[in-house]
Structure 1
Amino acid sequence: MRRLGIHSFVWTGGSTQGELERAMESSAECGFKLIELAYLRPDKFDLDSLARRAKSLDLDIAVTMGLTPDADVSSEDAAAVKRGEDLLAGVVKAVRDIGGVTLGGILYSAHGKYAALPTEGGRRNSVQAIAKTAELAKAAGIDLVLEVVNRFETNLLNTTAQGLAFIEATGSDAVRLHLDTFHMNIEEANPAAAIRLAGDRIGYFHIGESNRGYLGDGTIGFDAIFDALLDIDYRRDITFESFSGAVVDESLSLACAIWRDTWTDSLPLARHAKAFIELKRDEAARRQATVARP
């Protein structure tokens, strides 16, 4: 693990500059080394100021987002695809300007439940759009990672195998997968096997519980997850993600179906998550050392 991060939505809905700065401060106080932000429009936020604040706190920045239906690069509507490509190009610049190191999320389709299967033409449009975006991200020094999510949040990439086929189709070595234990718990027959299948094609990793709440308070088998991450020698970022109606903004509540409060106090949740992830990482290392010992 390179850096242990936390999503800003643990702290705030992020509607103002001050809220985001306080989220950065809280993240650093808890010992996290990376904060994940939703896409911040340059006309609404002072990106230079946020970049300086993060640097002063020794925090790196990742940005994740999902596309809207009118800018869906997996559409067969050429105008929607063009809007999506232009949006992604602008996001790459914004991530660069805020000093970000990673751009991830549902970059290849709209974020939401679809009413139909993806079309071949739509998938082809998405592949081409991501290939273009990857070159821009590579030039900007930003890791581009595609989040594999559950069937209710996209119709295109629901499994690791689908994600691997998609990034191979881009023909780019600048695209990796963004896996998430919450989504894997829904879609993968064996999440640990999926991690091993992806191997070094994983560029970013989300740790989240099956109920979006406290880690260990759901059904996810984290021992197997951390064993698999150790087996593939995963050395990139791991970020804790948890949503509650007490904090998350309305648009994300609707997109992710956050209808209740899985927690109400951010600070103990964040401290528990950091301790839990470090514990599971250390336990996996001890298990591996025991197996390797002659």
Structure 2
Amino acid sequence: MSQIRNPLGVHALVWAGSTSPAEVELAVRSTREAGYDLLEFSLHDGLTMDTAHARAELEKAGLKVACSRGLAPDADVSSEDPAVVARGAQLLSQSLEVTAAIGGTMFAGALYSAFGKAAQPLSAPGRANVVAVLKDLAAQAAEKNVTLTLEICNRYETNVINTARDALRLADDIGADNVKIHLDTYHMNIEEADMVRPVLEVGDRLGYVHIGENHRGYLGSGHIDFNAFFHALADIDYTGPITFESFSSAVVAPGLSNDLAIWRNLWSDGMDLARHAHSYLTNGLAAAAQNGHGNP
């Protein structure tokens, strides 16, 4: 069977709950051992990361790196409060600097709002603030050869973009070549009508992919139609990163675990989980490339 062309990644929360030097070393070592090409760090506490140390560890292991984050209510760039928006813009700018400092070329996630269920729909002034902040961030990112990828999250985590069409409209308004779309199968399972049409609609504007089961546990143990999703990726000839994302109460990140509602212990052995996911992704993507319209 043909080799897949996508870098395969794993989220650091499979291994560790912080970005301390010891936990960075654990995450890097484990990611390499499990056979992945890329490690994604959530920057929920990443502004304290020893970036020189992290970059050296990643380079020594031969790993690519991506970073992601959401925002807190007091730093929500979709707010109508100028002070709150300014705090969010500063946090995004600082997080971008961390991403570039550790060698990352992808800054992903819910870069556009506070993380959590909103009390009301997004307002027009709030959306205008999102566009303005992300235009500035995209310009800063371009100087550092970093691509921003707008992660589409479900209605219980944001009121800004919940579907691929929402994300495309927002990216159009930002109007920067280095702003791409970030699909996540966990969120798609909640908000999209199927697992194929959003991929085809996004097409060559797809920049990053999260693979997660409907309960965020072992791949294949839930009901998501990954076969259809993999074939859709082959149909658009997507060769970008595909990162496995899974959370369990076995690995706790202060603050973030509560934000993500990680109450259940879906797994306890991160290495077994990650190796299983790597095999599942490799086999599924290769089969789809062989039998779909993408070039094998």
TM-score category by the smaller chain? over 0.9
Q: In structure 2, do the counterparts of structure 1 residues 8 and 85 end up closer, same or farther at CA, with 3 Å as the change threshold? A: same
Q: Hey, what's the Cα distance between the residues in 2 that align with 1:15 and 1:50?
A: 9
- Render the CA deviation track for 1:193-239: whole Å, top value 9, x for unaligned: 11000001110000110010000000100110000000000011000
Q: Which residue is 2:93 aligned to?
A: 89
Of 223, 227, 230 in structure 2, the residue corresponding to residue 223 of structure 1 is 227
- Render the CA deviation track for 1:38-96: whole Å, top value 9, x for unaligned: 11757632110110000000001100000111111100001111111111111111111
Of 52, 58, 66 in structure 2, the residue corresponding to residue 62 of structure 1 is 66
Q: In structure 2, do the counterparts of structure 1 residues 215 and 82 end up closer, same or farther at CA, with 3 Å as the change threshold? A: same
Q: Hey, what's the Cα distance between the residues in 2 that align with 1:248 and 1:193?
A: 35
Q: In structure 2, do the counterparts of structure 1 residues 131 and 43 end up closer, same or farther at CA, with 3 Å as the change threshold? A: closer
**Equivalent pair of 2:146/2:178 in contact (CA under 8 Å):** no
Of 76, 80, 83 in structure 1, the residue corresponding to residue 80 of structure 2 is 76
Q: Hey, what's the Cα distance between the residues in 2 that align with 1:41 and 1:98?
A: 15
**Equivalent pair of 1:41/1:94 in contact (CA under 8 Å):** no
Q: Hey, what's the Cα distance between the residues in 2 that align with 1:135 and 1:208?
A: 31
**Equivalent pair of 2:149/2:179 in contact (CA under 8 Å):** yes
Matches within 5 A, 1:115-194: 115-194=119-198
Which region of structure 1 is more displaced relative to structure 2, 49-58 or 86-95? Answer: 86-95
SS in structure 2 opposite 1:203?
A: strand
**Equivalent pair of 2:180/2:207 in contact (CA under 8 Å):** yes
Q: Which residue is 2:236 aligned to?
A: 232
Q: Which residue is 2:273 aligned to?
A: 269
Aligned residues: 291
- Following superposition, the deviation at residue 190 of structure 1 comes to 1.5
SS in structure 2 opposite 1:211?
A: coil
Q: In structure 2, do the counterparts of structure 1 residues 121 and 71 end up closer, same or farther at CA, with 3 Å as the change threshold? A: same
SS in structure 2 opposite 1:107?
A: coil
SS in structure 2 opposite 1:118?
A: coil
Which region of structure 1 is more displaced relative to structure 2, 65-74 or 35-44? Answer: 35-44
Q: Hey, what's the Cα distance between the residues in 2 that align with 1:210 and 1:182?
A: 5
What is the aligned-residue RMSD (CA, Å)? Answer: 1.5
| Larger relative contact order, structure 1 or 2 (CA cutoff 8 Å, min sep 6) | 2
- Following superposition, the deviation at residue 248 of structure 1 comes to 3.0
% identity of equivalent residues = 43
SS in structure 1 opposite 2:110?
A: strand
Question: Does the alignment pair 1:285 with 2:295?
Answer: no
Structure 2 stretches of 5 or more lacking a match? none
- Following superposition, the deviation at residue 24 of structure 1 comes to 0.5
